[in-house]
Amino acid sequence: MKPDPLKHWRSRHTRESKTITVLETDWPGTLDVCRNAVEYIVRNVPNEEFREQAIEASLTVALDAYRSSVEREIESDRGRLRIFVETLVAGLISQIPAKFANSAKDSEQELIQRLVPANLREALNDLRLSDTCQEWTRNAA
């Protein structure tokens, strides 16, 4: 059985680990999103140092965005989920740009399909990207 890179990362990042627990409580399946994101980075970023930077710039930033939106109560539950997913995807695209050189919109959709379980994608459908979410995704990129 291969080690779980998310579990290892969470053991070193207690604040983010707590946010993941809240996120998973609010939206079952988001733990898989986090795990998928870390596994995606591990597969696409061979250098350990750059891998940590990629996780910081994508997953950590997305979790910070989610935590901030919960604390400030600025969005609906689905809006906060959207902030998390959009910020994560923008961070991944910024960290692994060669993989997504063709079209940013196609890249976003490809990553969402790859990382986000169907039930969560369905919850995000037709949900307008808020100004707050746009601010977080700009900051992640």
Structure tokens at 127: 């949900």
Q: Which pLDDT value is given to residue 110?
A: 85
- Write down the pLDDT at residue 26: 92
Task: Please tell me the total count of domains within the chain.
Answer: 1
| Tens-place pLDDT, residues 36-55 | 999 999 988 888 889 999 99
Give the model's pLDDT for residue 105.
59
Calculated CA dihedral for residues 101, 104, 108, 109, nearest 10 degrees? -90
> Rounded distance, CA 93 to CA 103, Å?
11
pLDDT of 5 reads 83
Q: Are the CB atoms for 66 and 84 separated by under 8 Å?
A: yes
Q: Is the dihedral of CA 28, 120, 76, 131 positive or negative?
A: positive
Structure confidence at residue 107 (pLDDT): 77
Q: What's the gap between Cα 17 and its chain centre? A: 13
Q: Which residue range forms the structural domain that includes residue 53?
A: 5-140
The pair of structure tokens assigned to 81 is 């989920």
End-to-end CA distance of the chain: 34
Q: What is the dihedral of CA 24, 116, 101, 97, to 10 degrees?
A: 20
Residue 76: what pLDDT?
86
**pLDDT recorded at residue 28:** 94
| Nearest of 44, 39, 43 to residue 9 by alpha carbon | 39
pLDDT, mean of each 10-residue run, the chain (141 residues): 80 93 94 94 88 93 94 86 93 79 67 91 71 51 46
User: Element (H or E) spanning 75, and its range?
Assistant: none
Q: Structure pTM?
A: 0.83
